[in-house]
Structure 1
Amino acid sequence: MGELAVLCAAYSISLFYRGMLAVIAPEISAELVLDESMLGLLASSFFISFAIAQIPSGILLDRFGGRLTIAGFLWLAVCGTLLFSVADSYCPAILAQVLLGIGCAPIFTGTMLFIGRRFDPLRFAYITALVIAIGSVGDLLGTTPLAMLADEFGWRGSLRLVALITALIALLCLFGLNSDKPPANHETLRHMLQGMARILRVRSLWPLLPMFLVSYAVLMAIRGVWSGPYLADLFGSDAAERGLILMAMSVAMALGTFMLGMLDRRFQYTKAVVIVSSVLAMFPLVLLTVYPAESAYLAMLAFIMLGLFGFNYPLLMSHSRTFLSSQYLGRGMAVLTAASFIGVALVQAGSGWLLEWAIAEQFSTANQYRILFVTLSIMMVIAILIYCFSSRQGRADQPVSVVSTNREEAISGILGDLK
């Protein structure tokens, strides 16, 4: 249980960094003189560096295991947090976000591989779901608690405290986790990279890729960046009110993770659960498109519904696992995680440029965000339609597939079935 607590702490700090900007974005924008496109790029720099770092971190996880890799990378996050806390212009803030993205890159994949190496395979889904749920505390800490700290110590002082906490977690990973170093791997770097590239040649995964690119990206565009400015611009919400609304959304995300996992277990049809949850997650975006300036309470309701149904990334990973053989599982998860975070980076940066264009065209504030919500909705529709053409699960005749299509033998995923 001690090792699981350490993994939960590491995953918590990663979730905190992903969403912290939404609460303090107005204050950071004012002090660093950032417009919408700059803020979008600032947020996306975390995710693009996170995605790119999946390649070296995946290789290091295969060579040295989760203990050393996670602990080592977290020190980059400490440096990034400290740099952010003293940034006086845009460029240092971007560099800080890049360091944060790289520092958090191996945590989720490394946690899954650590669990897979250290625990009974039949308990993989349960233990991973447990870590995700408990780790969601980090997302909650990035809402009202961060807002309260920012009110008391300023956003710079708050980040210095977060840097100290991150350093403690890095030490916990180094000294609190037992070694999970895998057996000697004689693959060359070239062969490892070729193996990662081979994942993208699995045609059965192609209909899933748009959902990997869009689903989590839409959720994080709202939770990670624009929810805070939206509430401040249209309703005059202060940091405390923004934190409270985003806390409700974060709680919904944590509950939704278990709810979608239970539905997947009940109906034994991951693809259908993903489609239904995605459609339900699109509804609040449509609602905000029609009523962008109705009230902060309607916005909170929409954000809660988006959080409840929008975090289907674990189910997508569960679905994709059925197309991968065991020797490609680690690299497959790294590649698909990279695809998901590239999507987040592109959507966050693109949405910033979209809002900047809307401002230049002198749209009203309500219409600026209406354009954002309708664009996110259209992206979801396209991804859902393509995903409908995916296979229900892997077949044995695929070049990189599970050996068996039996669901018990495949152990399908992060929140899959417990049998």
Structure 2
Amino acid sequence: MIELAVLCAAYSISLFYRGMLAVIAPELSTELLLNESQLGLLSSAFFISFAVAQIPCGIALDRFGGRVTIASCLWFAVSGALLLSFTESYYWALLGQLLIGLGCAPVFTGAMLFIGRCFEASRFGYIAALVITIGSIGDLLGTMPLAMLAETIGWRDSMRLIAMLTALVALLCCYRLSSDKPTHNFESPLTMITGMFSILRIKELWLLFPMFLFSYAVLMTIRGVWSGPYLADLYHSGAAERGKVLMAMSLAMALGTFMLGWFDRRFKNTKAVVMVSALLAVLPLISLSIYPETSVWLAMCSFVLLGLFGFNYPLLMSHSRTFLLPQYMGRGMAVLTAVSIAGVALVQAVSGLLLDRAGRAELMSAEQYRLLFIMLAVMLLSATLIYGFSRRNGKADQPVTRILAGRKETIICSRGYLK
């Protein structure tokens, strides 16, 4: 359907912005005189504003629908991309990244909400993975195509071109998405905000939070920030070569997303698929920590394996939605997205501080990145172990006590929902 295609285009733009910095980071750092800590914070700025914006965006999606929310917010991304393209200052670049994150904030949650409303719960993971696979075109464009474009016209003109494409997608969202403003929602804004924060009080979700916090964060810390500098520092790779390696990783992410969705549909055990994929994603991190400077081919193979197994976020969302009331679906997904994106911002910022401190301690580049890969492996493994104690889904037959919108309710799970 047309609406789904437009949402895929918007999601592609969002994915492009998430990972583009890894390709242009060396050139941007040179022009703006950035150190590792500043580069890490610059990348995390996107995810900070993205995470913070989930609260108002989740409320807006439940109250006004995806058309108004997504189309309006994308213009912030247009402004941020233009600001980034003209900046000569680190702080203006930081503001540009914050605006881009704000503009992209409702896109993924809006798409997931649309799928949740249009498809049965048992197919959510598969359809979500399919949409994300199609939307991964944007991630691919942020690799070798961006590198080649930046080498041809410069990274600043490249950003201006992307701003124009973002404006086009915003117009498509405005004029091609059907109005999906809920007609049955008469909650006051205060009640909606209270209900949103009440999502955090659902005890069944607590053991899923560490996985939301670190799984996507580990992947995007490599893909979105340090893969490019790592290849440049240790193997002296140019923009085109870095783009090729990152394109291979992005292709693996697209394939892996669809593959994990198929496994979920085939075995009907989302939790098991998530755990196995996370454990397999730890292995290339361990390999890189042991052999941080062997060859660019080992690095590429490790990045590809991480991309293939590391993007289990759609299945995490599929698992968590079985614990949410239907009328809280938009806000619930927004809260979980906020936790995930906040994790990205946190891990990227911490990784920048780690490398900056390691550099000041005069460690060799290989040793600096060894510490980075060890830190990421420990984070992901710890989250996976905690996740292993979570409930398989919300389809139990026994009553479950739940606190939502300030009210304690005893409810029975049915058809994948708590109601």
Tell me the TM-score normalised to structure 2 length. Answer: 0.94
* Of 398, 410, 413, the match for 2:416: 410
Counterpart mapping for 1:239-278 below 5 A: 239-278=239-278
AA at the equivalent of 2:218: V
Q: Is the 8 A contact 1:216 1:344 kept in 2?
A: yes
SS in 2 for 1:398: strand
Query: How many angstroms apart in 2 are the aligned matches of 1:349 and 1:201?
Result: 27
For each residue in 1:381-400, what CA deviation from the matched residue of structure 2 results, as whole angstroms up to 9, or x when unmatched? 21111111111112441316
- Residue 104 of structure 1: how far off its partner (Å): 0.3
Deviation at 1:112, TM superposition (A): 2.1
Distance (Å, rounded) in 2 between the aligned partners of 1:256 and 1:69 = 30
Preserved contact between residue 214 and residue 380 of structure 2 (Cα < 8 Å): yes
In the other structure, the counterpart of 1:397 is 400
1:301-320 matched pairs, under 5 angstroms: 301-320=301-320
Residue aligned with 2:402, SS = coil
1:209 to partner: Cα distance: 0.5
| 1:349 aligned partner, one-letter code | A
Q: 1:123 to 1:44 in 2, by over 3 A?
A: same
Matching of residues 22-171 of structure 1 within 5 Å? 22-117=22-117, 124-171=124-171
Is the Cα–Cα contact under 8 Å of residues 221 and 347 in structure 2 kept in the other structure?
Answer: yes
User: Deviations for 1:257-295, whole angstroms, at most 9, x for unmatched residues?
Assistant: 111111122222211111111110000000000000001
Whether the 8 Å CA contact 1:274–1:315 is kept in 2: the answer is yes
What does residue 344 of structure 2 align with? 344
- For residue 324 of structure 1, give the secondary structure of its aligned residue in structure 2: coil
SS across alignment from 1:30? helix
Question: What is the CA–CA distance in structure 1 between the aligned matches of 2:309 and 2:106, rounded to whole Å?
Answer: 26
Please report how far the alpha carbon of residue 184 of structure 1 lies from its aligned counterpart in structure 2 after TM superposition. Answer: 4.6
CA distance in 2, matches of 1:259, 1:126: 9
**Unaligned runs of at least 5 residues, structure 1:** 413-419
Q: Distance in 2 between matches of 1:190 and 1:266?
A: 42
Q: How far apart in 2 are the matches of 1:76 and 1:151?
A: 27
Deviation of the 1:402 alpha carbon: 11
Segment drifting more, 125-134 vs 30-39: 125-134
Confirm or deny: 8 A CA contact 1:114 1:180 kept in the other structure. no
1:298 maps to what in 2?
A: 298
In structure 2, C-alpha distance between the alignment counterparts of 1:402 and 1:329, rounded to whole Å = 19
Change (3 A) 1:116 1:261: closer
User: What residue in structure 2 maps to residue 416 of structure 1?
Assistant: none
Counterpart amino acid of residue 180 in structure 1? D
1:57, distance to aligned residue in structure 2 (A): 1.1
Q: Which moved more, 1:119-128 or 1:307-316?
A: 119-128
Deviation at 1:411, TM superposition (A): 7.5
Shift of 1:321: 1.1
Q: Distance in 2 between the 1:277 and 1:124 partners? A: 18
Mapped partners of 2:373, 2:121: distance in 1: 41
**Structure 2: which amino acid aligns with 1:218?**
V
> Which amino acid is 2:38 matched to?
M
Q: The residue matched to 1:105 in structure 2 has which SS?
A: helix
Partner of 2:406: none
Q: Greater CA deviation, 95-104 or 257-266?
A: 257-266
Structure-2 separation of matches of 1:63 and 1:121: 22
Tell me the residue number matched to 1:214.
214
Per the alignment, residue 415 of structure 1 pairs with none
CA contact (8 A) 2:130 2:258 kept: no
Give the C-alpha shift of residue 98 in structure 1: 0.4
- Report the counterpart of residue 380 of structure 1 in structure 2: 380
**Alignment correspondent of 1:332:** 332
Match of 1:289 in 2: 289
Check 1:119–1:370 CA distance in 2 against 1; reply closer, same or farther (3 A cut): closer
Q: TM-score, normalised by structure 1?
A: 0.94
Distance in 2, matches of 1:386 and 1:114, equals: 30
Corresponding residue for residue 371 of structure 2: 371
Conserved? CA contact 1:117–1:180, under 8 Å:
no
Shift of 1:148: 0.6
Q: Structure 1's 236 and 411: CA in aligned 2 closer, same or farther, altered over 3 A?
A: farther
User: Displacement, 1:185?
Assistant: 2.4
User: Shift of residue 188 of structure 1?
Assistant: 1.7
By how many angstroms is 1:380 displaced? Answer: 1.2
Per-residue CA shift, 1:303-362, capped at 9, x if unaligned?
Answer: 000000000111111111111121222111110000000000000000000000000111
CA deviation after TM superposition for structure 1 residue 118, in Å: 5.4
Distance 2:61 2:229 in 1: 37
Aligned amino acid, residue 105 of structure 1: A
Distance 2:184 2:385 in 1: 43
- Are 1:143 and 1:243, in contact at CA under 8 Å, matched by a contact in 2? yes
- Deviation for aligned residue 1:130: 2.8
Q: Matches of 2:264 and 2:308 in 1, distance apart?
A: 15
Which whole-Å CA distance do the structure 2 matches of 1:119 and 1:290 have between them?
44
Q: What's the secondary structure of 1:73's corresponding residue?
A: helix
Cα 1:55–1:368 change in 2 (3 A) is: same
Cα distance change on mapping 1:404 and 1:258 into 2, 3 Å: farther
- Alpha carbons of structure 1 residues 9 and 310: separation in structure 2 relative to 1, 3 Å: same
Q: Is the 8 A contact 1:252 1:304 kept in 2?
A: yes
Q: Is 1:203 aligned to 2:211, yes or no?
A: no
8 A contact 1:248–1:304 mirrored in 2: yes
Tell me the C-alpha RMSD between the 2 structures.
Answer: 1.7
Give the letter aligned to residue 371 of structure 1.
Answer: L
Alpha-carbon offset, residue 22 of structure 1: 0.5
Q: Distance in 2 between matches of 1:344 and 1:265?
A: 28
Displacement of 1:403 in angstroms is 5.8
Q: Is the 8 A contact 2:125 2:315 kept in 1?
A: no
Deviates more, 1:130-139 or 1:178-187: 178-187
Query: How many equivalent pairs are there?
Result: 410
Task: Please report how far the alpha carbon of residue 142 of structure 1 lies from its aligned counterpart in structure 2 after TM superposition.
Answer: 0.1
Q: Is the counterpart of residue 20 in structure 1 residue 15 in structure 2?
A: no
In structure 2, the CA distance between the partners of 1:121 and 1:209, relative to structure 1 (3 Å rule), is closer
